[in-house]
Amino acid sequence: MKTNITLSLVGGLNILQAIAYSIFASSAVPMMFNIGEEATQVAMLFQYAITPAFFMIGLLLLMSRNFEVGAAKKILLAVIIGYLPVFASFYFMIQSELTTMGIQDFAIDIIMFGLVVFTYIKPR
């Protein structure tokens, strides 16, 4: 698959996630977690705090979409490596009694990871 398409899709998704984290934090946190009022406030603050990171990653991926294949593969490898601890955290969140999350909540990340791996293996 073309590296510029994958970098655009994953970068755009990260930017959309950043926007959604800010807009929907107050409604998403109670839906995802079985926690009290104070913990809900902390989780919402965390959503706001992580928003710039997702936005920055998305911008970096979008701005690197026109790199040559060799450089794009390095960016894709960085995304693959970055997803590994993310998946570990997903596992721990699913196992926690404090969350109402399941594998379906992480489906888009699993699909994006698969797309990145496929593009890394067969770049054009």
Mind listing the pLDDT tens digit for each residue in 51-103?
A: 999 999 999 999 999 999 999 999 999 999 999 999 999 999 999 999 999 99
- Number of structural domains, the chain? 1
User: What end-to-end distance do the CA atoms of the chain give, in Å?
Assistant: 6
Tokens of 2: 């073309």
Q: Give dist(CA 103, CA 20) in Å, integer.
A: 20
Structure tokens at 94: 């699913």
Please give the mean pLDDT across all residues of the chain: 95
pLDDT digits (tens, 9 = 90+) for 2-46: 999 999 999 999 999 999 989 999 999 988 898 999 999 999 999
The CA distance from 89 to 68, in Å, is 32
Tokens linked to 111: 């699909």
User: What pairs with residue 99 in β-bridges?
Assistant: 33
- Residues 5, 67: contact at Cβ < 8 Å? no
pLDDT class of 119 with cuts at 50, 70, 90: very high
Which position has the token pair 């994958």?
6
Residues 15-27: pLDDT tens digits?
999 999 899 999 9
Residue 31 CB coordination number (10 Å):
10
Between residues 77 and 105, which one has the greater pLDDT? 77
Instruction: Identify the pLDDT of residue 48.
Output: 93
Residue 75: predicted pLDDT:
97
Rounding to the nearest 10 degrees, give the CA dihedral for residues 63, 69, 72, 78.
Answer: 180
Domain range for residue 78? Answer: 3-121
Distance CA 119, CA 124 (A): 8
